[in-house]
Amino acid sequence: MTQKITIPHLLAMKRAGEKIVGIVVWDYQLAVIADRAGVEIISVGDSVGVNLWGHDNPLAVTLEQMITVTQAARRGTQRALLSCDFPYGPLQHSTDVALEAGIRLIKETGVDMIKLDGAAAFPDTVAALTHAGIPIWAQFGITPQTALHYGIPYSAQSEAGAQVPAELQDRLIDEARTLEAAGAAMLDFTNSGPIVGAAVAAAVSIPVIGGFGGGPWLDGRIRMAHAAIGYGARHLDEQIDTYANVAKIAHQAIAELSADIRASRQIRGARAAKK
């Protein structure tokens, strides 16, 4: 097996100018696939609440649910560094509650790193978690939760290349440096844009990764596996910016299975099992 990815490995990649690849998964099977594909980071996102369970937003996801899905991803991850999201609540409640939740995630899932959304508002908590030996991936930037804080209409942002206003550059650089000083091992800069994103990545020694609104100006990118493979229930013939159309393939397979059953033909799995 290729050497296990560690935080020092990611730091070395940043210094060498090598791009870091992250993929978001929520289950064992996709974790196995992503790990075999050689990505550096497998991230278990609270986006599971929206994309797998059908919630309107991820706020409904609980700590217990994140533990369950992360345990599944852990079983499928051998080489990549495994991260999981903090669900909404512990970080916002208090440092003590966040510390208790972080310890539970580490002990009960075996995760390598914890990602904190909106971490720039909680540098003391980042420091406390780091002091407890919990590696932190600190997310900051323009999100639905922080847009008003920065005075930016969130609807103006787009994944194709969100433009963070230049006047926010110094502020965001300061936030990035504060998080680095607090002990964050890595940053997730949401909606960075090419100008401010490049400036932030150059201002800190830790890797700066981006998903929504990121780009090649950062140290790496992260994307949901379901988005990359086109696994969605809508617009089966109009997959945009994906690398496969798994939704259409799944639709065709289920239709063919249905046709075999209705025609009283043996289904393919049963035929293979008899050989």
pLDDT in tens, the chain (275 residues): 468 999 999 999 999 999 999 999 999 999 999 999 999 999 999 988 888 888 888 888 999 999 999 999 999 999 999 999 999 888 899 999 999 999 999 999 999 999 998 899 999 999 999 999 999 999 998 766 666 666 666 554 444 345 567 778 899 999 999 999 999 999 999 888 888 899 999 999 999 999 878 889 999 999 999 989 988 766 666 666 788 888 888 889 999 999 999 998 988 876 554 44
| Domains defined along the chain, listed by start | 7-228 (3.20.20.60)
- Residues pairing with 116 in the sheet: 138
Q: If DSSP codes are grouped into helix, strand and coil, which group holds residue 215? A: coil
